[in-house]
């Protein structure tokens, strides 16, 4: 579950990888339509203890077998050290994967967005050896979605619009349109989008507007999300219990069996395997249908 405006502003691309195509299309930025989008490891560390992490990293496959990497950074304020990090990210990604990397910076205020859009030139003033031109999404170019019908057509974009324009004077109209749009989708999806919106707005007056708009509906959505996370927690705990029992009893667990246990999301099945783990002499005995 997202817990901060920074996290929400980039995590929404993880939950809805096609969002960047909607944003670029709205801005008239020419980008090939993806045929597949994959989430990648964000750890770019080479030598510890120096650690480097990009916020979100996507591999975007396009027609013809080509692909590119989309590195997404959420930037809440100006940070002079960030630009050298961004240059490093792109160089390292290209050296590691040999795919063209693209940097997308998402901002919640116009000043930071303008700063982030400035080219990064490394080298001599008249002969830079490396130049970086970030793509930037912020209040200056992300559409303010104030029409409920338009918001319903692309709810992830409407949520991103609300998060990005959280400090704008027309945020109430944006949130009203989003609240109406969420009623047109299923409850589970609405719950996730509602949580993203609240986290993305942070400690601002807009968050109170959002809470008032959602009213009891938000409480209902939170209940759905909370129940989902409780179920996931019980599943993860039962998986750990099974593996721990087998380890304590000295039962060897092949990688295929470990993956099957870890991938199971059915709590009833896991309960059966848990009971069998107490006496099973092999890991495969857990899965015996007879």
Q: What is the DSSP pairing of strand 56-62 with strand 67-75?
A: antiparallel
Query: What is the Cα–Cα distance from 47 to 237, expressed in whole angstroms?
Result: 33
- Whether the pLDDT of residue 33 is over 80: the answer is no
Q: How confident is the model at residue 214 (pLDDT cuts 50, 70, 90)?
A: confident
Using CA atoms, how far apart are residues 231 and 58, in angstroms rounded to an integer?
A: 28
Task: Please enumerate in sequence order all residues whose Cβ is within 8 A of that of 14, keeping only pairs 6 or more positions apart, or say none.
Answer: 39, 56, 58
**Dihedral sign computed on CA atoms, order 2, 35, 98, 102:** negative
Task: Give the pLDDT confidence of 39-66 residue by residue, as tens digits.
Answer: 776 665 554 444 567 888 899 898 888 8
Q: Which segment of 116-120, 209-213, 225-229 scores lowest on mean pLDDT?
A: 225-229
What is residue 120's three-state secondary structure?
strand
From the CB of residue 282, how many other CB atoms can be counted at a distance below 10 Å? Answer: 14
Grade residue 166 by pLDDT with cuts at 50, 70 and 90.
very high
Closest by CA position to 84, among listed 124, 130, 38: 130
Q: What is the pLDDT of residues 215-265, one digit of tens each?
A: 744 455 555 545 555 566 678 888 888 888 888 888 898 888 888 898 888
CA–CA separation, 209 and 221 (whole Å): 17
Angle between helices 19-27 and 5-15 in degrees, nearest 10: 100
Residue 20 has pLDDT above 90, yes or no: no
**Chain CA centroid to CA 232, Å:** 18
Pairing outcome for strands 120-124 and 135-137: unpaired
In this prediction, residue 157 carries a pLDDT of 93
Mean pLDDT over 113-138 rounds to: 91
Contacts of 272 (CB under 8 A, 6+ apart): none
- What pLDDT sits at residue 113? 94
pTM of the entire predicted model? 0.65
3-class state of residue 206 by DSSP: helix
Residues in contact with 261: Cβ distance below 8 Å, sequence separation at least 6, in sequence order: 239, 242, 243, 253, 270, 273, 286
More confident residue, 99 or 290: 99
Q: If you average pLDDT over every residue of the chain, what do you get?
A: 83
């Amino acid at each position: 579950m997202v817990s901060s405006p920074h996290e929400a502003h980039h995590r929404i691309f993880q939950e809805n990888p096609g969002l960047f195509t909607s944003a670029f299309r709205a801005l008239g930025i020419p980008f090939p339509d993806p045929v597949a989008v994959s989430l990648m490891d964000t750890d770019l560390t080479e030598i510890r203890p120096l650690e480097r992490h990009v916020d979100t990293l996507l591999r975007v496959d396009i027609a013809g077998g080509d692909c590119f990497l989309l590195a997404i950074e959420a930037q809440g304020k100006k940070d002079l050290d960030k630009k050298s990090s961004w240059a490093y990210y792109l160089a390292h990604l290209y050296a590691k994967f040999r795919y063209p990397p693209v940097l997308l910076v998402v901002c919640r205020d116009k000043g930071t967005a303008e700063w982030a859009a400035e080219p990064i030139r490394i080298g001599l003033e008249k002969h830079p050896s490396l130049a970086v031109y970030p793509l930037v999404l912020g209040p200056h170019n992300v559409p303010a979605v104030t029409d409920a019908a338009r918001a319903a057509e692309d709810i992830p974009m409407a949520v991103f619009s609300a998060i990005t324009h959280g400090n704008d004077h027309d945020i109430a109209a944006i949130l009203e349109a989003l609240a109406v749009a969420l009623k047109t989708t299923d409850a589970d999806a609405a719950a996730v989008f509602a949580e993203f919106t609240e986290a993305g707005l942070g400690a601002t007056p807009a968050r109170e507007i959002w809470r008032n708009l959602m009213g009891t509906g938000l409480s209902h959505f939170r209940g759905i999300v909370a129940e989902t996370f409780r179920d996931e927690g019980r599943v993860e705990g039962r998986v750990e219990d099974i593996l721990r029992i087998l380890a304590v009893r000295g039962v060897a667990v092949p990688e295929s069996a470990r993956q099957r246990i870890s991938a199971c999301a059915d709590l009833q099945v896991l309960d059966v395997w848990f009971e069998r783990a107490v006496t099973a002499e092999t890991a495969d005995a857990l899965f015996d249908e007879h």
